[in-house]
Structure 1
Amino acid sequence: MRSTRERIVDAAAQVMRDQGLARATTKEIARTAGCSEALLYKHFRAKEDLFLAVLQERVPGGLPRLLAGLADEAGRDTVVGTLERVAHAAITFYDESFPMAASIFSELRLLEGYRAAMRERGAGPQTVNAGLAAYLRAEQALGRVRPEADPEAVAALLLGACLQHAFLRHFSDVEAPAEAAGRLARNLAAGL
């Protein structure tokens, strides 16, 4: 049996996918979860916390979890293999989360509110880049990435390409995530 919190996160994911983050209300999320708004707020202090829970727990790809501990994996797999795994997770994650999150850019006040909330919680898209850059620095320390490579730039290039792939996929038919992830990672790793 699912807990109340799990029902709320499931409902938030559904409502955010269907309506986008800007139009998703806690009232609608609570209704979809079969609970009151008061009960929702016993588990989550704000809609931003619900959004983070959806990204971390319900969006496929597991990108935030993968990158959080990736630097500790330096030296285990090949750099190319790790970058392919990251690219595949990123494309999957962005493909699912982009439609939810895109609506926050439609209202400046809403965007500013989410920026402030993410800063307060130590979250946001910059943490993904930082996680990948930390891994690349760890690989540099092991001599498996060239010393002149810029880990921040490489992280931005790979993750930016994955985000663009997901963005474009919503408008046209582009290659499947697995093929794109492998190609992106291999081409980028060749320069490392």
Structure 2
Amino acid sequence: MLTPKSSRSTPERLLDAAETLMRTTGLASATTKAIAREAGCSEAALYKYFANKEELFVRVLMERRPNAGAMMAALTSDPGEQPVEERLTEIARYASLFYAEAMPMSGSLFADPVLLTRHREGVRSIGAGPHMVLEALTGHLFRELERGRLRPDADPAAAAALLLGACFQRAFFLHFSGPDTVGPVEEFAPAVAATVWAALR
């Protein structure tokens, strides 16, 4: 059962409001004033807890979308003896689902160059950005290379770009061309992981 809005803390109400507006009206229309109004507080209160709208967006993506935390755990945790291909399959699955969730929320930014620039600067100011996922996967593959689990001439950065690029493209086709243009993620993720692994092993 949902907790009544009045009993939730102000930061939680603001995150609830940001998630609702970003999912229904898009990031471009989800202004700090609208988010504060939806949360039942002042815009000044929003800035007491969050540096900017971009921080709210990042927090919503990373804390409220179920695949974000799992994706980052798969990217950053020690795989132990888990086979590399198996871990790549996990990452591809979570990344595919994460990009599919994030794309509708952020798509409206690209219609307004000024807003996109402001968003980029705001995200950079809090030390975040979509490139961090690529950097995390590249780092993960470099660690596997150091452990001797990849071929010596493997290129972790290129492999990371290929895997995440395929996941992002699937999300784009899903939303732009429709679900009938992409295969189920349960089939897509292992296929992409196997292809990348074939170039690394």
Say which structure, 1 or 2, has more relative contact order (CA 8 Å, 6+ apart). Answer: 1
1:133-172 matches, cutoff 5 A? 133-170=138-175, 171-172=177-178
- Hey, what's the Cα distance between the residues in 1 that align with 2:199 and 2:164? 16
- Hey, what's the Cα distance between the residues in 2 that align with 1:168 and 1:185? 19
Between stretches 172-181 and 148-157, larger displacement belongs to 172-181
Q: 1:182 aligns with which of 180, 184, 190?
A: 190
In the other structure, the counterpart of 1:32 is: 38
In the other structure, the counterpart of 1:58 is: 64
- Contact conserved, 1:11 with 1:32, CA < 8 A, in 2? yes
- Contact conserved, 2:74 with 2:90, CA < 8 A, in 1? no
Q: 1:89 aligns with which of 81, 86, 94?
A: 94
Indicate how the Cα distance of structure 1 residues 157 and 73 shifts in structure 2: closer, same or farther if over 3 A, else same: same
In the other structure, the counterpart of 2:3 is: none
Residue deviations 1:152-187 (CA, integer Å, cap 9, x gap): 111111001001101111122222222211221122
TM-aligned CA deviation for residue 68 of structure 1: 6.7
- Hey, what's the Cα distance between the residues in 2 that align with 1:117 and 1:6? 21
Aligned length: 191
What one-letter code is carried by the residue in structure 1 that aligns with 2:191? R
Q: 2:55 aligns with which of 41, 49, 56?
A: 49
- Hey, what's the Cα distance between the residues in 2 that align with 1:54 and 1:76? 33
Residue deviations 1:122-163 (CA, integer Å, cap 9, x gap): 211111101000000000111111111111111111001001
- Hey, what's the Cα distance between the residues in 1 that align with 2:153 and 2:77? 22
Residue deviations 1:44-94 (CA, integer Å, cap 9, x gap): 12111111111111122125x743773551443111111111111101110
In the other structure, the counterpart of 2:116 is: 111
- Hey, what's the Cα distance between the residues in 2 that align with 1:89 and 1:69? 9
- Hey, what's the Cα distance between the residues in 2 that align with 1:119 and 1:30? 23
TM-aligned CA deviation for residue 9 of structure 1: 0.8
What one-letter code is carried by the residue in structure 1 that aligns with 2:58? L
- Contact conserved, 1:140 with 1:147, CA < 8 A, in 2? yes
In the other structure, the counterpart of 1:4 is: 10
Between stretches 36-45 and 135-144, larger displacement belongs to 36-45
TM-aligned CA deviation for residue 24 of structure 1: 1.1
Indicate how the Cα distance of structure 1 residues 69 and 94 shifts in structure 2: closer, same or farther if over 3 A, else same: closer
TM-aligned CA deviation for residue 113 of structure 1: 1.3
Indicate how the Cα distance of structure 1 residues 69 and 180 shifts in structure 2: closer, same or farther if over 3 A, else same: closer
- Tell me the TM-score normalised to structure 2 length: 0.87
Q: Mark the runs of 5 or more structure 1 residues left unpaired by the alignment.
A: none
* RMSD (CA atoms): 1.8
